[in-house]
Amino acid sequence: MDFAPALRRSASWLLDAILPPRCLKCGEIVADSGSLCGACWSALKFLGPPCCACCGLPFEFDMGDGSLCAACTAKRPLYDRARAALTYDDASRELVLRFKHADRIDGAATFAGWMARAGAELIADADIIAPVPLHRWRLVRRRYNQAAILANAIGALRGKRVVPDLLVRRRATASQGHLGRSQRQRNVAGAFALHPGRAQSVAGTRILLIDDVLTTGATAESCARALQNAGATAVDLLVLARVVRVQPT
């Protein structure tokens, strides 16, 4: 009789039981799994009102309901509203990268809680929650889509319908890390389409897209266009972290 599989199972159970939970960012031992140590926690910049009614850019002063930032006043993005839980900066970058690349998906419930607070209104208004998709080759390499994990966690938390494969990537797009806004727009133009089996479910609905990071919004706008073409009445975006640039006023 082969006891090896049973032994391996109990060994991994034992490891889980012995190994203490680690800070999602720095790996320091913490009390609860999926949490941060005090230092990493206090370095994060959480976002909330007052902010641009459209893109969610934080304002220093409350400018009244419906106020828009300079960029949205000049040209409204294709999505309706965007909100983010955190500023994407030196403090949050490592957290996001570990979630994305280093299998620290035990942070999903914590992140979903932050996002559910930041995007409470968007979630309440949404008929369908859907992640920004990864191309399948990238999915094979990474093994999981961090946006889909967040979408599922937020849906479970707020009792909302999640459709993980609502959108598909028609083609792999180049990594956008070093691209500027117009280059990103070209890179992702037409890259997204509705899943052929899902096209009917979108007409007349409000969609909430979920992603990990918002930089220029080019990806979100490309997704929004595909959804609007299929008849979505609104497309909102909720992310874990967004870049906050100082804008000319």
Contacts to Zn ion by CB under 5 A: 23, 25-26, 28, 37, 40, 52, 54-55, 57, 69, 72
Cα separation, 54 vs 76, in Å, equals 8
Least gap, CB of 216 to Zn ion (angstroms): 12
Least gap, CB of 233 to Zn ion (angstroms): 21
Nearer to Zn ion, 41 or 144 (CB): 41
Nearer to Zn ion, 75 or 143 (CB): 75
Least gap, CB of 51 to Zn ion (angstroms): 8
Nearer to Zn ion, 91 or 148 (CB): 91
Least gap, CB of 214 to Zn ion (angstroms): 11
Least gap, CB of 224 to Zn ion (angstroms): 15
Least gap, CB of 165 to Zn ion (angstroms): 30
- The torsion defined by the Cα of 141, 241, 77 and 133, in degrees rounded to 10, comes to 20
Nearer to Zn ion, 105 or 194 (CB): 105
**Are the C-beta atoms of residues 227 and 236 closer than 8 Å to each other?**
no
Nearer to Zn ion, 185 or 201 (CB): 185
Nearer to Zn ion, 81 or 100 (CB): 81
